[in-house]
A and B are shown apart, each in its own frame.
Chain A
Amino acid sequence: MGFHNSKLQNSKHGATRSTVSRRSFLKVSAATGGGLMLSFNLAPLANALANIPGESAIGAFIRIGADGIVTIAAKNPEIGQGIKTSLPMIIAEELDVDWKDVRVETAPMDAQKFGVQSAGGSTSIPRNWDNMRRVGAAGRQMLVTAAAKTWRVPESELTTASGVVMHAASGRALKYGELAAKAAMLPAPDLKLVTLKDPKTFKIVGKPTKDVDGPAVVHGKPLYGIDVTVPGMLYATYEKCPVFGGTVVRANLDEVKAMPGVRHAFVVPGTIKNGEVGLNAGLSGGVAIVADTWWQANVARRKLRVEWNEGPMATQSSKGFAARAAELAKQKPEMSIRSDGDVDAAFKGAAKVLEASYSYPFLAHATMEPQNCTAHFSGGKMEIWVPTQNGANGRGMIARTMGIPEKDITVHMTRAGGGFGRRGSPDPMIEAAWISKEAGAPVKLVWTREDDMRHDCYRPGGYHNFKAGIDAAGKLIALTDHFVSFGADGKFAASSNMGGNVFPAEFIPNLAFGASLMPLGTPTGPLRAPGSNGLAFVFQSFLDEIAHASGRDPLEFHLDLLSEKRVPAPAAATGAPQGPTFNPARMRTTLALVAEKAGWGKRTVPKGTGLGLAYYYSHQGYVAHVAEVTATSSGQMKVNKIWVAADVGGHIVNPSGAENQVQGAVLDGLGQILGQEITVARGGTVEGNFDTFPLLRMHQAPPVEVHFQRSENSPTGLGEPALPPTLPAIANAYFAATGQRVRDVPFNKPRDRDVRV
């Protein structure tokens, strides 16, 4: 966590930097063929990018060649969210260079130089917006100082533009490429004190900018973890117990070893302790097969017969969860999440009382690139190549599990073929590391699609049992939710919690949220907009029911509901996805904008077609949707179009990437509501591939029209917040079209599936 806070800006470290001896610089200089370097981060001599002869490192993030080409480090993993483009854009803006002269390299994993290097929670932009500006501004400052020293003029007389320092009084100009070597020898400025641009003069931030890896993508160049090759590399496949935490009793290894191309087949005992659940719990036991090619490893795997000790969770099933949830719903919640006012009295005095139960299923992440990792253990050191959202987590797991010091574990982050929260877990990394060590060779472990779908950390399902009271004026005066979720001993399973500040908490006077928990042996974890992705569906759908039951237009109902906070936030409103800083005025503006763009209340739609709206605040983003849905003659839902308005602050760093993220998140949500469900049977996952876990396809994808509401706020992230309103907007539109509520998703429930392979 060191990068963006005190450590980076600590003057003590500044003093350390300024006393770095010239001799040290020259020593490093000789090593790099003339490139001089210095850093304004914790490691005084850090040349974080690869050492390139003839280029000068201006801090850990920037390298400038004599030809003026600027190479900028992208600190965070690229998983399709566009961060490899957008963070360097911010640096380039303040460095004051032209984007056409910028090349981008993924930074090495090094928290001392780059701080937190993860992708999750839509945090990369809010965490790094200010930092990246200051890094770029510091580089510009050093180039200006170098020019001032060259010309012996005050820095205040110098200006910059497009990679050139200019002295207007004398008409002189020097290109950054001509100044870089000199600038690199200067002490770094204090990042706190550097001068930032007036945002009105931005030339790169706010301009639609193409993904820096686009050309490599469309030409099929190796970019992803699965594309890594290492000399002498073998290929591995790894069979784990269908029930999480299960272990191998015995396996027919000799038969497997006799198969063509197989070099090794061995049992991995695993390190997960009894009762621990979750992909961070340890190494899952299983059987590794290592062969000359991945195909041979998998052909051999077909011969594999394993007797498993499946453990006590092998009795669990989705059917069992649903039955138990229905029983629990009839009882009082085991625990209270929040209680305001007096709901019982309010229900007694209400003109109308409404009750409804909702549910959502377990979901897999199903990244297009299956989980994989390449590992090479040699001479006590581990080298890892991996598409990851959190390489540090995997490195920690390897260190703990295998007793290798973290300093001896090098992690290379590749571009990832999707993440959605899946790649924050360390399981492919520890598996590949273990297998490489035992095989005594570099090994690329690639999971099959079935491995990937059956060994995920799933979005947990959930059951919500609502009751609402409406007064004679059509106002919502009371709301209760008995949330039946997963966990034990009063603790929610990962990503299955609900906080006390889920909207409309604080906006109605009498409210009670409670929960009951069911034990769960299946690992769960964050999926795009964790928590919010389920909660938005149930709350925004039920609020739409309330609006209709009140005889009010949903837009008018919601603008009124959002008009004032009626209950103060508790002192410590934590643990909820919404965060404690919800600003209803921003949401009202966003909702009004999307309503206007969609023509809400201004146009008529044909019979059998309806409009629905929904909104949600998550990951600091305010997003509202209107969906237009037609019910087909066969009762299917056909989404014609979705309008989106989003307020994620005053700057959209890259409008091209931003629009793409919003469209993708919305269509991701459409895929979820149409037909996605993970079923548990005998403690394991039934679905294994895209035939039974259907991802959205082209013919199902409607246009998504995106509008950004600019507000005077620091920019926040967009990978996630556009998803949560999608499901309720579609469900509410389906109700408007048909009069039928969608209370259990997916809309197309899978045929009865209770057979685990």
Chain B
Amino acid sequence: MAYTLNINGASHTVDVDEATPLLWVLRDTLDLKGAKYGCGAGLCGACTVHIDGTAVRSCVTPVSGVGTRAVTTIEGIAENPLGKKLQDAWLAIDVAQCGYCQPGQIMSATALLAKTPKPTDADIDAQMSGNICRCATYNRIRTAIKLAAGDAVKKEG
């Protein structure tokens, strides 16, 4: 079936089965590899994208449910000033180890700052606990979010 998707501000028409998760449309049909496959069950957050600014798990979001809403992926998040700030903070703090989960982490963090510009530790826990980092870079993720939020943070490393 043909679906016309609005992804990172551009229109894409894809011909896929209606049940195909958005993740696999992004990765294998549109060759946008930033959203990652981790669990296929909405448990790890590696596949996080935004739909109309809300963080969703694209691995359990059927393409048929997306409609004309705006999809933003990690490839497009730099257009969002908060997303850009977070990407810069991630680099400044040298967050990544393997890096595989980090696009999803940044997408979740962008949604957090959009709602809560100055998140407390508890806010960060609540929003970010859906994103697993197997390398456990959580100390640095927390620091990077605070840096992007404009808080004074201890420089790592």
Binding site for B on A (CB under 8 A): 78-82, 208, 210-211, 213-215, 217-224, 226-227, 229, 235, 260, 293-296, 299, 366-370, 415-420, 446, 448-449, 655-657, 659-661, 663-664, 666-668, 670-671, 689-691, 695-699, 701, 703-704
A residues less than 8 Å from B39 (CB atoms)? 449, 689-690
> How far is it, in angstroms, between the C-alpha of A419 and the C-alpha of B140 when the chains are bound?
20
Q: Is the CB of B75 within 8 A of A220?
A: yes
B residues less than 8 Å from A217 (CB atoms)? 90, 96, 99, 102-103
The residues in B between 1 and 55 inclusive whose CB is less than 8 angstroms from any CB of A are 16-17, 19-21, 24, 28-29, 31-41, 43-44, 46
Q: Which of A227, A420, A690, A698 has the most CB of B within 10 A?
A: A698
Additional pairs, 15, CB under 8 Å, beyond known A294-B24, A655-B157, A697-B130? A80-B99, A214-B94, A218-B103, A220-B73, A227-B33, A368-B44, A368-B134, A449-B39, A660-B135, A664-B137, A668-B135, A691-B43, A695-B132, A697-B129, A699-B126
Q: Is the CB of A81 within 8 A of B24?
A: no
Quick check: is B151 within 8 A (CB to CB) of the other chain?
A: no
21 A–B contacts, CB within 8 A, in A order: A80-B135, A208-B94, A208-B156, A211-B96, A218-B90, A219-B78, A220-B33, A224-B36, A295-B20, A299-B19, A368-B134, A368-B135, A370-B37, A417-B101, A449-B41, A659-B156, A660-B94, A660-B97, A664-B136, A664-B137, A690-B132
> How far is it, in angstroms, between the C-alpha of A220 and the C-alpha of B74 when the chains are bound?
6
Q: Is the CB of A218 within 8 A of B106?
A: yes
Interface string of B136-150 (1 = CB under 8 A from A): 111111100000000
Give which listed residue, A82, A215, A695, contacts B134 with CB less than 8 A.
A695
> How far is it, in angstroms, between the C-alpha of A695 and the C-alpha of B142 when the chains are bound?
17
A residues less than 8 Å from B24 (CB atoms)? 293-295
Q: Is the CB of A296 within 8 A of B156?
A: no
Known A221-B34, A417-B36, A690-B43; contact A696-B136, beta-carbon cutoff 8 A: yes
Known A368-B36, A664-B137, A690-B44; contact A418-B98, beta-carbon cutoff 8 A: yes
Binding site for A on B (CB under 8 A): 16-17, 19-21, 24, 28-29, 31-41, 43-44, 46, 73-75, 78, 87, 90-91, 94, 96-103, 106, 124-126, 128-142, 156-157
Q: Is the CB of B91 within 8 A of A260?
A: no
> How far is it, in angstroms, between the C-alpha of A713 and the C-alpha of B6 when the chains are bound?
57
Q: Is the CB of A671 within 8 A of B100?
A: no
Q: Is the CB of A416 within 8 A of B98?
A: yes
Q: What is the CB-to-nearest-CB distance from A573 to chain B, in angstroms, rounded to a whole number?
A: 33
Q: CB-nearest residue of chain A relative to B106?
A: A218
Q: Is the CB of A663 within 8 A of B106?
A: no
Q: Is the CB of A697 within 8 A of B38?
A: no
A residues less than 8 Å from B73 (CB atoms)? 220
> How far is it, in angstroms, between the C-alpha of A344 and the C-alpha of B28 when the chains are bound?
66
Q: Is the CB of A449 within 8 A of B94?
A: no
Q: Which of B78, B132, B140 has the most CB of A within 10 A?
A: B132
> How far is it, in angstroms, between the C-alpha of A696 and the C-alpha of B96 when the chains are bound?
16
Q: CB-nearest residue of chain A relative to B17?
A: A260
B residues less than 8 Å from A659 (CB atoms)? 156-157
Known A214-B94, A219-B74, A368-B46; contact A449-B99, beta-carbon cutoff 8 A: no
Which 3 interchain pairs have the tightest Cβ spacing?
A: A220-B34, A80-B98, A417-B100
> How far is it, in angstroms, between the C-alpha of A338 and the C-alpha of B35 when the chains are bound?
52
Known A368-B46, A368-B132; contact A660-B138, beta-carbon cutoff 8 A: no
> How far is it, in angstroms, between the C-alpha of A446 and the C-alpha of B59 when the chains are bound?
15
> How far is it, in angstroms, between the C-alpha of A663 and the C-alpha of B33 when the chains are bound?
28
Q: Is the CB of B41 within 8 A of A418?
A: no
Q: CB-nearest residue of chain B relative to A656?
A: B157
Q: Is the CB of B135 within 8 A of A418?
A: yes
Q: Is the CB of A294 within 8 A of B28?
A: yes
Q: CB-nearest residue of chain B relative to A705?
A: B139
B residues less than 8 Å from A293 (CB atoms)? 16, 20, 24, 28-29
Q: CB-nearest residue of chain B relative to A416?
A: B98
Q: Is the CB of A218 within 8 A of B91?
A: yes
B residues less than 8 Å from A226 (CB atoms)? 33, 36-37
> How far is it, in angstroms, between the C-alpha of A523 and the C-alpha of B33 when the chains are bound?
32
> How far is it, in angstroms, between the C-alpha of A21 and the C-alpha of B97 when the chains are bound?
45
Q: CB-nearest residue of chain B relative to A227?
A: B33
Give which listed residue, A220, A420, A655, A703, contacts B103 with CB less than 8 A.
A220
A residues less than 8 Å from B31 (CB atoms)? 229
Q: What is the CB-to-nearest-CB distance from A232 to chain B, in angstroms, rounded to a whole number?
A: 14
> How far is it, in angstroms, between the C-alpha of A689 and the C-alpha of B126 when the chains are bound?
21
